[in-house]
Structure 1
Amino acid sequence: MNDVQVLEARQVPLGGMRSLEVRRTLPHKDRSFVGAWCFVDHYGPEPVRDLERDGMDVPPHPHTGLQTVSWLFDGEIEHRDTGGVHGMVRPGEMNLMTSGHGIAHSEVSTPETDTLHGVQLWVALPDADRETVRAFEHHAPDDVDLTGDDGGFAGVALVFLGELPGVDRSPVTTYTPLLGAELRLEAGTELTLDVDSSFEHAVLVDSGDVTFEGTQLKRGDLACLDPGRSQLHFSIGQFPARLVLLGGEPFEEDIVMWWNFLGRSHEEIVEAREQYEAGNPRFGHVEGYTGKTDRIPAPPIPPVHLRPRNRRGRIGG
Structure 2
Amino acid sequence: MSSTEARPADSRPGGQSDSDRPAVEVLTARKVPLGGPRAMTVRRTLPQRARTLIGAWCFADHYGPDDVSRTGGMDVAPHPHTGLQTVSWLFSGEIEHRDSLGSHARVRPGELNLMTGGFGISHSEVSTARTTTLHGVQLWVALPDAHRNTERDFQHYVPAPVPLRGGRARVFLGTLAGDTSPVRTFTPLLGAEVSVDPGAAVTFDVDPEFEHGVLVDTGDVRMSGTALAPSELGYAAPGHRTLTLANEGPESARLVLLGGPPFEEEIVMWWNFIGRTHDDIVQAREAWQNATDRFGTVEGYPGDRLPAPALPHSVLTPRKNPVPVPAAKGSR
**TM-score, normalised by the number of residues in structure 1:** 0.93
Aligned to 2:30: 10
What amino acid is the match of 1:32? T
- Is 1:277–2:297 an aligned residue pair? no
Structure 1 residue 233: deviation in Å? Answer: 1.1
Correspondences of 1:205-224 after superposition (within 5 Å): 205-224=216-235
Give distance in 2, aligned partners of 1:2 and 1:296. Answer: 41
Per-residue Cα deviation, 1:9-60 (whole angstroms, up to 9, x for no partner): 001111134111001000010111100000000000011224x74x421110
What amino acid is the match of 2:267? I
Give distance in 1, aligned partners of 2:178 and 2:30. Answer: 32
Give distance in 2, aligned partners of 1:276 and 1:173. Answer: 27
Aligned to 2:142: 124
Aligned to 2:3: none
* 2:167–2:202 Cα contact (<8 Å) kept: no
Aligned to 1:138: 156
Alignment match of 2:267 (pick from 234, 247, 255):
255
What amino acid is the match of 1:210? V
Per-residue Cα deviation, 1:239-273 (whole angstroms, up to 9, x for no partner): 21001000001100000000000000111101100
What amino acid is the match of 2:274? L
- Is 1:305–2:306 an aligned residue pair? no
Give distance in 2, aligned partners of 1:83 and 1:312. Answer: 37
What amino acid is the match of 2:265? E
Aligned to 2:132: 114
What amino acid is the match of 2:319? R
Correspondences of 1:48-59 after superposition (within 5 Å): 48-50=68-70, 53=72, 55-59=73-77
Correspondences of 1:17-32 after superposition (within 5 Å): 17-32=37-52
Q: Which runs of 5+ in 1 are unaligned?
A: 148-153
Give distance in 2, aligned partners of 1:28 and 1:201. Answer: 16
SS of residue paired to 1:312: coil
Structure 1 residue 115: deviation in Å? Answer: 1.2
Aligned to 1:195: 206
Structure 1 residue 204: deviation in Å? Answer: 0.4
Give distance in 2, aligned partners of 1:167 and 1:26. Answer: 28
Give distance in 1, aligned partners of 2:168 and 2:280. Answer: 43
Structure 1 residue 211: deviation in Å? Answer: 1.1
Correspondences of 1:16-95 after superposition (within 5 Å): 16-50=36-70, 53=72, 55-95=73-113
Give distance in 2, aligned partners of 1:203 and 1:140. Answer: 21
Q: Which runs of 5+ in 2 are unaligned?
A: 1-20, 324-332
Give distance in 2, aligned partners of 1:137 and 1:27. Answer: 25
Give distance in 2, aligned partners of 1:258 and 1:170. Answer: 30
* 1:22–1:43 Cα contact (<8 Å) kept: yes
- Is 1:184–2:202 an aligned residue pair? no
Aligned to 2:300: 288
Alignment match of 1:173 (pick from 184, 188, 195):
184
What amino acid is the match of 2:306? I
* 1:33–1:312 Cα contact (<8 Å) kept: no
SS of residue paired to 1:49: helix
* 1:206–1:242 Cα contact (<8 Å) kept: yes
Aligned to 1:151: none
* 1:42–1:120 Cα contact (<8 Å) kept: yes
Q: State the identity as a percent.
A: 60
What amino acid is the match of 1:302? P
Number of residues of Structure 1 aligned to a counterpart in Structure 2: 302
Aligned to 1:150: none
Alignment match of 1:240 (pick from 233, 248, 252):
252
* 1:207–1:241 Cα contact (<8 Å) kept: yes
**Aligned-CA RMSD value:** 1.2
Aligned to 2:122: 104
* 2:60–2:137 Cα contact (<8 Å) kept: yes
